[in-house]
Amino acid sequence: MNPILTLFLKDIAHFRRDRTSLLLTFVVPAVLIYIFGNVFGVNRESTGPVGIPLAVVNQAAGAKSADAIITALQKEKTFRLITTSRDANGTDVPLTEEKVRSLFRENRIRFALIFPPDTESDDTFGLKVKYLNNPRNDIETQTVNGILQKTIFMAAPSVLMDSLRKRATQAIGAAGTESFYRSIARSVGQSFNTDSEKIFDEMMRGDILTASSSSADKPDGGTAPADFFDRIIKIDSEQVSGKQVKNAAATRSVGGWAVMFMLFSVSGAATSLFEEKKAGLFRRILAAPVRRSHILWSKYLFCTVLGIVQLAALFVAGKLLFRIDITSNLANLILICLAASSTCTAFGMLLASIARSPAAASGIATFLILTMSALGGAWFPISLMPDFIQSLSKLTIVYWAMEGFLQVLWANCSFRDLLPYLGVLVGIAAVINAISVWRFNRGEMFD
Amino acid sequence: MLVIDNVTKSYGSVAALQGVSLELKAGEFFGLLGPNGAGKSTLMALIAGLRRPDSGDIRLDGQALTPDNLRSRNKLGFVPQTIALYEDLTAEENLRIFGRLYGLRGALLQERIDQALVTAHLQDRRRHYVKTFSGGMQRRLNIVAALLHRPKLLLCDEPTVGVDPQSRNAIFEFLQTLNSEGLAVIYSTHYMEEAAKLCSRIAIIDHGRLLAIGTLPQLMTRLPFRESLRIEGANLSRDSLAPLLSFGELTSDADAHVLTLHASTHLSDVFREAESAQLPTSSFQLTRPDLEDLFLHLTGKSLRDS
């Protein structure tokens, strides 16, 4: 047989027996393609994000424009509207601005639309809307802003024409208005040989004016200039969180990337247990007055410290290069670094305890880290993913560590606000460590 | 000093040790001879306290040697079969780590490190990375790393595997010196020459059972055959060898005659008589039974083939 073919077949045989290579070649791309596909909606009939929480407070009782916009938003699949909250008695009550702001603080929402009492005014043409947002994720915020603006601009003009008619009636009086409409209706009827009375009735109801503002006249339709809508719809935008951040882009992304890289390095360090086992060092060490737990805890300590040092280096570099503010909430930053690092270390130890070889550990690590990073929001905002993936996100270390970093660096949170994130990370670490210890006691690492 | 009492150990359905019992006195150089897979390393691991026997008891100076009992570990030194050193650290750094694990600190630790490096002839390489050492140097460091805390008993699990003859001899001398200073040694090997050369007592182990135990002469008495002289020479007839018949039994084949000597025979008497009878003593070849013969006799197979 040709030597090239012989050696080629040898490589095929090796590859077929190498589970790590098989995992990295087939499973990892399949999972990542699935996640990417869901993010970009390639598997859905219509693309775009679905179900992003949007709080709506309607303080403008009876304002048609507010009702129209809310109805349009409810039809928009991008948003999941939150209009009520549960009070102490467990009763659903309409959302208030105060409640919305508390939801922002708790990071339960990142977007809210408030229709103030003067959403519509008899004195002015147009409408006023207050838009609260927490742009902690740039992609998500840009997406929401665009879709929100489109929806408002499509829903509002019909009611704005109502407003215009009211103002005209106010200015020239009911009799004058009626005379004006009747004159126009007569002229139209004569010119087009139609029923002028019917036209008059429609004009009085506002139907004709409404019909004139078709969807083609909207900003995205391209026939009406966007600044026209900007003038008649006044959106007061307020950034609720992260106003103090100097470099928004760097501050937003640093947490996710930091966690991903830390997972790689800490996993590598944890799997060095295999090298020590192979060298027979554990036999020598355990023949001394040393327990297995001493070896495991020393490795745990080392990897955690390594993770913290890596994070410290990364944040210092971020401060020097991108002006990321790491000092104003330093104590909480240290706490979240500690929690994230110890949880990532627990992940590395788990890999070492379940894998049978360094190669297997490396393969599993690559697969899990990339998957967790994609699912956890290190690459894309998880709000752009389907609901079930968003549920899976909350099972990943990356999600909780990233959220914790954003709470500290973006929201400048208090220790109390950070506590849930610390608790979840420490809880994950405790569960993973319990599994690892169980596996180490039954595995072959120390035999 | 060390008492191993009816110890058994299994891995799943495989019985690694079956009812092993032996005692070791202070200062002994004890050999554990057996083929690969005989159970030597398992027995060493049990003595080192790395594993727990399924049944039976191992005690050093009355203290149980189990994974839970860390107090007795200071009396033991363990030299693993592999070179269990951190290659990316220097010789001195390695010794410092292992010394600290045994509780040595400060000036005493430094003193022991210095002594160990001198003993291993590595004092000039103390700050060199272990990965730059030759195999022999690494082996020597591997041994002295187990001696920093001055153990009473040194466990050497096949410490010369893969070592060149020159380095092997250096290790033998090194261990013999330590033993002469009072250190008890258990030396496991599958090289009968090593066991014969080094050990005052030897246990032969196979399939997890101790087949024989004793000094080399004691073990040899278990063989049903003795020393023999092979006398080659096509022109020598049985009659010409008649003067030697009083020293043993003579058998012949096409190539040579073999005189199996009586136990009481002195070789010097045989050669004196042969020279008197003008027999060609230069063609005499003495064959002594060895551990290989004993192993073959005990197990029905060759030690090297096992």
State the 10-residue block means of pLDDT for chain B, 306 residues long. 93 90 92 87 92 92 88 90 92 95 94 91 93 90 92 90 79 87 91 86 90 84 75 78 85 82 81 86 80 77 60
Residue B34, classified by CB atoms within 10 Å of its CB into exposed (0-12), middle (13-18) or buried (19+), is: buried
As for the ipTM of the complex, it is 0.81
Closest partner residue to A279 (CB to CB) among B84, B102, B155 is B84
Inter-residue contact B22 to B42 (CB < 8 Å): no
Interface test with A, best of B78, B97, B161 (most A CBs within 10 A): B78
Cα–Cα distance, B164 to B136 (Å, whole number): 7
Contact A288 B101 (CB under 8 A): yes
Inter-residue contact A255 to A409 (CB < 8 Å): yes
Contact B48 A281 (CB under 8 A): no
- Give the count of beta carbons closer than 10 Å to the beta carbon of residue A317: 12
Cα–Cα distance, B166 to B191 (Å, whole number): 16
- Residue A287 C-alpha, separation from nearest chain B C-alpha, in angstroms: 6
CATH 3.40.50.300 fits B2-84+149-216, yes or no: yes
- Residues of B engaging A, defined by a Cβ cutoff of 8 Å: 45, 48-51, 67, 70-71, 73-74, 76-78, 80-87, 98, 101-103, 145-146, 155
Strand partners, B206: B209
- Residue B100 C-alpha, separation from nearest chain A C-alpha, in angstroms: 10
Chain B CB contacts of A283 under 8 Å are 45, 48, 50, 78, 80, 84
- Residue A277 C-alpha, separation from nearest chain B C-alpha, in angstroms: 9
Instruction: Please state the three-class secondary structure of A34-88 as a single string.
Output: HHHHHHCCCCCCCCCCCCEEEEEEECCCCCHHHHHHHHHHHHCCCEEEECEEECC
Backbone angles phi, psi at B21, to 5 degrees: -135, 135
- Residue B149 C-alpha, separation from nearest chain A C-alpha, in angstroms: 10
pLDDT for B303 equals 63
pLDDT for B246 equals 87
Closest partner residue to B80 (CB to CB) among A280, A289, A447 is A280
Helix (H/G/I), strand (E/B), else coil: A224: coil
Number of residues that this document lists for chain B: 306
| A444 vs B: CB within 8 A | no
Nearest residue of B to residue A281 by CA position?
B84
Residues in contact with A38: Cβ distance below 8 Å, sequence separation at least 6, in sequence order:
A385, A386, A389
| A286 vs B: CB within 8 A | yes
Residues in contact with A132: Cβ distance below 8 Å, sequence separation at least 6, in sequence order:
A100, A101, A104, A111, A112, A113, A114, A238, A240
Contact A284 B155 (CB under 8 A): no
Closest partner residue to B82 (CB to CB) among A280, A285, A287 is A280
pLDDT for A124 equals 64
| A90 vs B: CB within 8 A | no
Contact A289 B81 (CB under 8 A): no
Inter-residue contact A57 to A115 (CB < 8 Å): yes
pLDDT for A219 equals 40
- Residue A281 C-alpha, separation from nearest chain B C-alpha, in angstroms: 5
pTM, two decimal places: 0.74
Residue B47, classified by CB atoms within 10 Å of its CB into exposed (0-12), middle (13-18) or buried (19+), is: buried
Chain B CB contacts of A285 under 8 Å are 101
Contact A287 B87 (CB under 8 A): no
Closest partner residue to A289 (CB to CB) among B74, B86, B155 is B74
| A290 vs B: CB within 8 A | yes
- Give the count of beta carbons closer than 10 Å to the beta carbon of residue A149: 18
Chain A CB contacts of B77 under 8 Å are 287
Number of residues that this document lists for chain A: 447
Question: What are the domain boundaries of chain B?
Answer: 2-84+149-216, 88-144, 228-288
pLDDT for B114 equals 94
Contact B84 A288 (CB under 8 A): no
Contact B50 A291 (CB under 8 A): no
Residues in contact with A391: Cβ distance below 8 Å, sequence separation at least 6, in sequence order:
none
Cα–Cα distance, A210 to B101 (Å, whole number): 86
Nearest residue of B to residue A295 by CA position?
B101
Closest partner residue to B101 (CB to CB) among A279, A283, A285 is A285
Strand partners, B54: none
Contact B48 A280 (CB under 8 A): no
| A281 vs B: CB within 8 A | yes
- Residue A347 C-alpha, separation from nearest chain B C-alpha, in angstroms: 25
Contact A286 B102 (CB under 8 A): no
Interface test with B, best of A274, A278, A283, A291 (most B CBs within 10 A): A283
pLDDT for A345 equals 92
How many Cα atoms within 13 Å fall on the side-chain side of residue A282? 22
pLDDT for A125 equals 64
Cα–Cα distance, B173 to B161 (Å, whole number): 16
| A301 vs B: CB within 8 A | no
Residue linked to tokens 């990364």: A314
- Residue B214 C-alpha, separation from nearest chain A C-alpha, in angstroms: 27
Residues in contact with A408: Cβ distance below 8 Å, sequence separation at least 6, in sequence order:
A329, A332, A333, A336, A418
Chain A CB contacts of B78 under 8 Å are 283-284, 287
The secondary element (H helix, E strand) that includes residue A112 is strand A111-115
Inter-residue contact A382 to A405 (CB < 8 Å): no
pLDDT for A217 equals 41
Cα–Cα distance, A152 to A229 (Å, whole number): 10
| A33 vs B: CB within 8 A | no
Structure-derived torsion over alpha carbons of residues B281, B283, B288, B292, reported in degrees to the nearest 10: 170
Read off the tokens for A234: 């006044």
pLDDT for A193 equals 82
List per-residue pLDDT tens for chain A, 447 residues long: 687 888 888 888 888 887 777 777 788 778 777 777 766 666 555 566 778 889 999 988 877 788 888 888 888 888 889 998 888 888 888 889 999 998 888 888 889 999 988 887 766 667 788 899 888 888 888 888 888 888 887 777 666 666 667 777 777 888 888 888 888 888 888 888 888 888 888 777 765 544 444 443 444 444 444 555 566 677 888 887 777 777 777 787 788 888 888 888 888 877 788 888 888 899 999 999 998 889 989 999 999 998 999 899 888 988 888 888 889 899 999 999 999 999 999 999 998 888 888 888 888 888 888 888 888 888 877 777 777 888 888 999 999 999 999 889 988 889 999 999 999 999 999 999 999 988 888 777 777
Q: How many CB pairs under 8 A join A and B?
A: 56
Chain B CB contacts of A272 under 8 Å are none
Domains of chain A: 52-174+219-239 (3.40.1710), 245-442 (no CATH)
- Residue A441 C-alpha, separation from nearest chain B C-alpha, in angstroms: 12
| A289 vs B: CB within 8 A | yes
Contact A284 B102 (CB under 8 A): no
pLDDT for A225 equals 45
